[in-house]
C-alpha cells in the first residue's frame, strides 16, 4: 500500500517537472526527468506486477440439451455419448 501511495505521488509529480521545463532549466531538467522517468518506469512495472497469481484452469463441462428429439426443437443429431435424462417425447 505504501509503495502504491509513494508511486502515485511520484507519478503525480511528473507534470510539475514539465512545468519547470517551460522556465528553461533544460540541462538539470533533462537529468532530473531521466531519473524520475526511470524510477517512474520501475514503479509502474512493480505496480503492474501487483496482480493476483494466475488462477487455476477451469474445468469446462458442456451440456447440450433439447426438449425432444425433433430437429425443430433444437435437437442436434448425435451418434455418440447420448445421455437421455428423462422421458423423451416427440
Query: If binding is defined by CB under 8 A, does position 59 make contact with another protein?
Result: yes
Among 1, 12, 16, 84, binds another protein (CB under 8 A): 84
For residues 37-64, one letter each, b for 16 or more C-beta atoms within 10 angstroms of the residue's C-beta and e for the rest, the string is: eeebeebeeeeeeeeeeeeeeeeeeeee
Q: Is 89 helix (H, G, I), strand (E, B) or coil?
A: strand
Binding mask 37-56 for another protein (x = CB under 8 A): -----------------xxx
Instruction: Kindly compute the dihedral angle of the four CA atoms of residues 23, 27, 30, 35, in this order, to the nearest 10 degrees.
Output: -120
Total residues binding another protein (CB under 8 A):
30
Smallest separation (angstroms) from another protein to the CB of 73: 6
Query: If binding is defined by CB under 8 A, does position 16 make contact with another protein?
Result: no
Query: If binding is defined by CB under 8 A, does position 12 make contact with another protein?
Result: no
Sign of CA dihedral 40, 42, 43, 48: positive
- Sites of contact with another protein (CB under 8 A): 54-69, 73-76, 78, 81-89
Amino acid at each position: 500500500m505504501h509503495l502504491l501511495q509513494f508511486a502515485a505521488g511520484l507519478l503525480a509529480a511528473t507534470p510539475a517537472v514539465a512545468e519547470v521545463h517551460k522556465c528553461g532549466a533544460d540541462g538539470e531538467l533533462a537529468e532530473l526527468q531521466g531519473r524520475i522517468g526511470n524510477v517512474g518506469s520501475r514503479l509502474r512495472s512493480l505496480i503492474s506486477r501487483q496482480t493476483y497469481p494466475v488462477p487455476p484452469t477451469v474445468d469446462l463441462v458442456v451440456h447440450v440439451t433439447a426438449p425432444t428429439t425433433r430437429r425443430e426443437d433444437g435437437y442436434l443429431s448425435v451418434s455418440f455419448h447420448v445421455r437421455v435424462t428423462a422421458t423423451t417425447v416427440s
